[in-house]
Each structure stands twice: as structure tokens, then as C-alpha cells.
Amino acid sequence: MQINLSNLGKRYNYEWIFRNLTYKFEAGTSYAILGHNGSGKSTLLTTIAGHNLHSEGEILYIAGGQAIAAEEAYRHLSLTAPYLELVEEFTLLELIDFHTRFKPLRHRLSHPELVDRMGLQKSRNKFVKDFSSGMKQRLKLGLAIYSDTTLLLLDEPTTNLDQEGVAWYQEHVAQNQEGRLIIVASNILHEYSFCQHRLHITDFHPPARK
């Protein structure tokens, strides 16, 4: 997956979050979107994902040398973020079964194998509503990282994770980089230290109105 942003802008009411953003995300490469809290990192990530509509400019998605219609881009991406909800009425195995109806797993993993890779073996039949916040975050990450997608979008990926969880995240992202475009929105180094490129969202903040 390659993504070209051309003069992209997003505003809420009369306030521009970012503007005049022209940038190319190359396939098989990792990028970090950096900026202070409230600077627009998450907004840019969800705009790329199609969860937010941009206010001006263009987003071009390319896979296998062919342009992809914006409304079809979701088929090629997985996204995780602290504000995204899980279906908590499912058990862990039920949720994986539901998820994989829409997004199959990489490496032809079986559902029990994914549970093992997430380190949640003892909770396979536990309701997600009874998971701790750290377990829920590991589950979100596991579903995103191991979905068979060419675009992986990670927004503040280690939120609610302890030191062991952070190490797990770093290990499994590293194991699943090949052949993917990965974009991380963060201001914490250990979340994006593997990324080859940095995009500072504040470079695309419009001047304050006088």
C-alpha cells in the first residue's frame, strides 16, 4: 500500500487542525506522526483510515500499482486506538471469530495460535468485559497487528500497557513489518522507535488568526 496526501486539510467548525499537508507514505516503510497532545496526530491517522473525512485536498491509495477507491481502502487496513471499543459481550475466542469474518489473519494463523501470540491463553473463554484495561489493549493490538492487511495504523499503541506489555508490542510489531506500510501516531519514543521516517504534524498547523 502507498498513500499520497495532496494539500490535505481538516477543520472542525472554523478551526483548522492541519492544512496544506502534502506527503507520500511508501509501501513497506514505517512512519511516525509526531506532535504534542491535541496537535492533530489522531485526527490525521483517522483521516487516512477514512474514519474522518478531510475538509480539503486529496488522499490517493495505491496497491499493486493500481489506485484504490477511497471507499474500498478499509479492506486493506487495520487500525487500533485507545478510543476504539471492543464487543465486550463476546468471549475472547468469540471476538476473534467475529473479527476474522471481516479481516483474516496473517500467516494463516489459527484462532488458538493468535491467542497464544497475545499471551491470553488463560482467558480464551473469558468475556472481554471482564478483561483488565491492559488485556483489552493487548487484544486490540493483536487483532490489528495480525490482521492480513498491507496498511497498519497504530494510535498511541501502548496506552494502558505495563513494561511487559510494551515489550510484547515492540516484539510483535517487529515480527510483522515485512511487506506493510505502518503509521504510528505517538509522542512516546518506545512506540515509534522502529519507524524510519518522522512526520511532525505541527509543521502543517496554519498560522494563528490575529
DSSP notation for 123-182: GTTSBGGGS-HHHHHHHHHHHHHTBS-SEEEEESTTTT--HHHHHHHHHHHHHT-TT-EE
How much is the mean pLDDT over the chain?
Answer: 96
pLDDT score, position 208:
64
64 has pLDDT over 90: no
pLDDT score, position 21:
98
- Confidence band for 96, pLDDT divided at 50, 70 and 90: very high
- Pairwise CA distance, residues 176 & 173, whole Å: 5
Q: What is the mean pLDDT of residues 5-33?
A: 96
- Pairwise CA distance, residues 147 & 169, whole Å: 15
Provide the grid cell at 113. Answer: 495460535
Is 63 strand, coil or helix? strand
Which DSSP letter does residue 60 get? E
pLDDT score, position 130:
98
Encode pLDDT of 132-185 as tens digits. Answer: 999 999 999 999 999 999 999 999 999 999 999 999 999 999 999 999 999 999
- Pairwise CA distance, residues 99 & 63, whole Å: 23
pLDDT score, position 114:
98
Enumerate domains of the chain plus CATH numbers. 2-204 (3.40.50.300)
The pTM is what?
0.95
